[in-house]
Amino acid sequence: MSHEMEHDAGGGGILANKLLWICIGAGIFILIAFILPTPQSMVEIVEKYGFAKRMMEWEVAHSAADAAHKTMIVLGIIPMAVIFFATEAIPIGLTGVLMPILAYFLHLLPRGMIGKTFAGDAPMFLLGVLAMGVAVVDVGLHKRLASWLLGWTKGFMVPIFVLCISMAVVGSFISAHAMCAFMTPVMAAVYFGAVSARSTGGRIEHDPALAKFLMFSLCYSLNVGGIGSPAAGGRNVIMMGFWSEYNVPMDFFTWMKYGLPIVPILGVLVAVYMLVLFGRKIKTKDLTPGLTAIKEETKKMGKMTYAEYVTFGMLILILLLWIVGGEELGLGGPALLALLIPVVFKTTDWKKILGGISWDAWFMYCGALTLGALLKESGAALWLAQSFLKILGYVGMSEGYGLWVGLSGLSGLMTNFMSDAGTTALLGPIVIPMGIMTGVQAEPWAVGLAVAFATSFAHFLIVGTPNNAIVYGLGIYPDTGEKMLHPMDFVKYGFILWILCMGVLWVVEFLVVYNVIGFPEGILETARQAMESANQ
């Protein structure tokens, strides 16, 4: 089967009609942004929370009503962006570029701020990570990594369960994005070895279902590991900071007691879901030939070469700088060393790095960051959150278990459209006081954990997390260089998994772990006193 045929299968039929989806996306945008009336509740929110004042200071709005209209424009961009990202109605990188273009021409943010959203620390981080993947593959280090991590496994089931569980646990403690960059070429190598062994007549018979299976198993396992410890991501640390403001701080190991127990469960869930989803479609049912071929190639490579030592040292250095560098270096600074070190030490050619980077994935992710900034700075995200909270009140989910389910659902949805840290930073100041005011003894920890945990489940939009962008950018067929994944695949395969992950959170975490671990006595009263003192 050719790759063209597979891509048509991933986005064929009505999805292949690009003009139709351009018209639908643009039509929805125009309807929301310029035809529908601005809700009075939106005007009230942009006034009450200072968005209108700030927009007027920035000279992007002249009144509260004008500011609210700008917020409506941002709300119109969201469905259009989702449609374009999912269907590739226009190239996915160009959809990313469209976000700052709209922000500039519709005067939604100050010019300087738009530029920062498109070229801040996060874009530099992704650029470095994509370059890291190119460097690892170029020197052949990915084959050694595959041999070290999976070489002892055989068959089909064992390697997959080992992969999903180990990546979920590892992703709880070190950068999941870095692991994704290391492991995506590894899985591509395992795939190619397996299909090569199965092919006959000197022609590679590709198995696109296996390619998707391996890429998504890796990506989603690393995603779900984000709840295991504070080291897994900035959103966890942000939530811990909010608790400290209410004099109820949580330490590293206490977080692990609540989060780590369900990480292996989620890893198994990913493996089982992928097997059920792709089991009948996959033609290559044995990964042993691929793993064996990689081990043989590794043996032929002999001892590690100079280029491999330099590349491996670069990976360790970048990881250490991410861990110890903190806020001073950020994530982007160390990641950019992946562009510098291979060239300076002459292990990978500069033109090869530039040619190997998926600029489509990079521009797409940068555009998603701009969209996230628009949601936050215009008040659109806050209006959506407040509207959702009113609905929770109407349906009797305003405290305890119902509140945890509702707010985690909101958090899980929002994190597919904006960064996990941005989602936590937006919702934290809203939900913690809500939890305190319910009088439930588990608060404010219970509601904060619910919101932070759900931000790890950015499965169904390619822009939801760097992991998704990385497997899309680096997941290529080794012989042709064509992409293994289609943007619509994330929607097709990720949405059901998102629901299942939320189900584990709602049942296992909220009903079992919360009750078994319990919550310290007095945190509710301490937090309430801190809130009352701050309001005086």
**DSSP 3-state assignment of 90?**
coil
Q: Is residue 155 part of a domain?
A: yes
| Weakest mean pLDDT among 34-38, 160-164, 202-206 | 202-206
Residues 461/468, Cβ–Cβ less than 8 Å: yes
Q: For the residues 415-421, what does the mean pLDDT come to?
A: 82
Q: DSSP letter for 250, please.
A: -
Q: Is the pLDDT of residue 10 over 80?
A: no
Residue 338 lies in domain: 122-231+252-357
- What type of residue is 133? G
Please tell me the distance from the alpha carbon of residue 160 to that of residue 155, in angstroms, as a whole number: 9
Please tell me the distance from the alpha carbon of residue 495 to that of residue 82, in angstroms, as a whole number: 14
Site of tokens 């922000």: 103
pLDDT for the residue 14: 67
* Greatest alpha-carbon span in the chain: 80
- What type of residue is 291? L
- Here the tokens at position 265 are 């469960």
Residues 290/193, Cβ–Cβ less than 8 Å: yes
Q: Is residue 193 part of a domain?
A: yes
Please tell me the distance from the alpha carbon of residue 297 to that of residue 416, in angstroms, as a whole number: 39
Over the stretch 257-300, which tens digit does the pLDDT of each residue have?
999 999 999 999 999 999 999 989 999 988 888 888 777 878 88
Please tell me the distance from the alpha carbon of residue 409 to that of residue 505, in angstroms, as a whole number: 10
- Per-residue exposure over 155-175, b if at least 16 CB sit within 10 Å of its own CB, e if not: ebeebbbbbbbbbbbbbbbbb
Q: Is residue 377 part of a domain?
A: no
Site of tokens 């319990």: 518
Q: Is residue 108 part of a domain?
A: no
Q: Is residue 406 part of a domain?
A: no
Supply the mean pLDDT for the chain: 88
pLDDT for the residue 519: 96
Residues 312/235, Cβ–Cβ less than 8 Å: no
Q: For the residues 514-536, what does the mean pLDDT come to?
A: 88
Whether a cis peptide bond, with omega within 30° of 0, leads into 487 is no
Q: DSSP letter for 440, please.
A: -
Residues 159/271, Cβ–Cβ less than 8 Å: no
Cα distances (angstroms) measured from residue 142 to each of 108, 289, 423: 44, 17, 34
Q: Where are the alpha helices (DSSP H) in 395-444?
A: 400-414, 420-438
Q: Is the pLDDT of residue 143 over 90?
A: no
Residues 209/282, Cβ–Cβ less than 8 Å: yes
Number of domains the chain contains: 1
pLDDT for the residue 1: 37
Residue 5: band (very low, low, confident or very high) from pLDDT cuts 50, 70, 90: very low
- Here the tokens at position 83 are 């449609």
Q: Is residue 330 part of a domain?
A: yes
Q: Is residue 23 part of a domain?
A: no
* Phi, psi values for residue 518, rounded to 5°: 75, 180
* Phi, psi values for residue 476, rounded to 5°: -125, 150
- Here the tokens at position 374 are 């628009």
Please tell me the distance from the alpha carbon of residue 297 to that of residue 140, in angstroms, as a whole number: 10
In whole angstroms, how large is the CA radius of gyration of the chain? 24
**DSSP 3-state assignment of 395?**
coil
- Residues whose CB is less than 8 angstroms from the CB of residue 123 and which lie 6 or more positions away in sequence, other chains included: 332, 362, 365, 366, 369
Residue 495: band (very low, low, confident or very high) from pLDDT cuts 50, 70, 90: very high
- Here the tokens at position 58 are 């920035």
Residue 7: band (very low, low, confident or very high) from pLDDT cuts 50, 70, 90: very low
- Here the tokens at position 95 are 């959809």
Please tell me the distance from the alpha carbon of residue 481 to that of residue 433, in angstroms, as a whole number: 51
Q: Is residue 191 part of a domain?
A: yes
